[in-house]
């Protein structure tokens, strides 16, 4: 009986076969490939969310500038007079805001973005994880802004504002758009 025990003991100590090793390598490789795919998709999503945030900020800034144009009594250097309610329109309707998509530029002499005197490329300083600036600087050269101001039917004292920001989409060659809608009245 003792020889049988030794025989069993030697069988249990034979180790892995080549087939078992190959199967475990295939399973491990499949898991690592899946993990790398998830990691790369998370990087793309992080970049996309950063672009989305920048687009929202640019749209809000443009909307605030339309209200600023209405609320200030500053003299527009192009018009040579204070900005009036009739100027809070697109150029095609006799106002000061440029029609169609334009590059993201800094405010010109009137201090209002989206007008004909805008100039100078704009960059955005992005904070790092600790909140210190600048961690990186983002160029806004791939972004465009459209400010569309429309009269409401039957209302001369209220206008509709649509700000559209077009920006790069890291997931696709087709750019994304962010649209912000609002209303402005001639009353402050």
Give the model's pLDDT for residue 161: 97
**What is the residue-level pLDDT of the chain in tens, covering all 188 positions?**
555 555 555 555 677 788 888 999 999 999 999 999 888 888 877 777 888 899 999 999 999 999 999 998 777 777 788 889 999 999 999 999 999 999 999 998 888 999 989 998 888 887 776 777 667 788 899 999 999 999 998 888 999 999 999 998 877 889 999 999 999 999 88
> How do beta strands 176-185 and 155-167 pair?
antiparallel
Which residues on adjacent β-strands are paired with residue 145? 102, 165
Q: Return the pLDDT at 12.
A: 58
CA–CA separation, 107 and 28 (whole Å) = 56
Residue 55, by phi and psi: left (phi above 0), alpha (psi -120 to 50) or beta? alpha
pLDDT at 4: 56
User: Over the Cα atoms of the chain, what is R_g?
Assistant: 30
**Domain segments of the chain as ranges:** 17-185
Per-residue confidence (pLDDT) for residue 10, from 0 to 100:
53
Question: DSSP string covering 147-187, please?
Answer: EEEEEETTEEEEEEEEEEEEE--TT-SSPEEEEEEEEEES-
Query: Residue 41, Cβ neighbours under 10 Å: how many?
Result: 11
pLDDT, residue 64, reads 95
Q: What global pTM score does this model have?
A: 0.74
DSSP conformation letters of 117-155: T-EEE-EEEE--TTS-S-SEEEE-TT-EEEEEEEEETTE
Per-residue confidence (pLDDT) for residue 68, from 0 to 100: 92
Strand-strand pairing, 105-106 and 119-121: antiparallel
What is the rounded distance in angstroms from the CA atom of residue 58 to the CA atom of residue 103? 12
């Amino acid at each position: 009986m003792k020889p049988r025990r030794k025989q069993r003991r030697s069988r249990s100590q034979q180790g892995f076969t080549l087939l078992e090793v190959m199967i475990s390598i295939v399973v491990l490789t499949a898991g690592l490939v899946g993990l790398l795919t998830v990691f790369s998709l998370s990087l793309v999503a992080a970049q996309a969310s950063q672009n989305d945030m920048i687009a929202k900020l640019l749209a809000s800034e443009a909307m605030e500038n339309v209200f600023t144009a209405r609320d200030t009594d500053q003299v527009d250097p192009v018009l040579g007079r204070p900005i009036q309610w009739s100027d809070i329109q697109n150029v095609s309707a006799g106002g000061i805001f440029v029609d169609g998509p334009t590059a993201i530029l800094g405010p010109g002499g009137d201090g209002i973005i989206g007008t004909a005197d805008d100039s100078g490329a704009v960059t955005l300083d992005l904070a790092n994880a600790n909140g210190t600036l600048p961690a990186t600087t983002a160029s806004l050269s791939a972004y465009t802004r459209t400010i569309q101001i429309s009269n409401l039917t039957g209302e001369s004292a209220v206008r509709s504002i649509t700000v559209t920001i077009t920006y790069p989409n890291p997931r696709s060659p087709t750019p994304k758009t962010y649209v912000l809608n609002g209303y402005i009245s001639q009353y402050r």
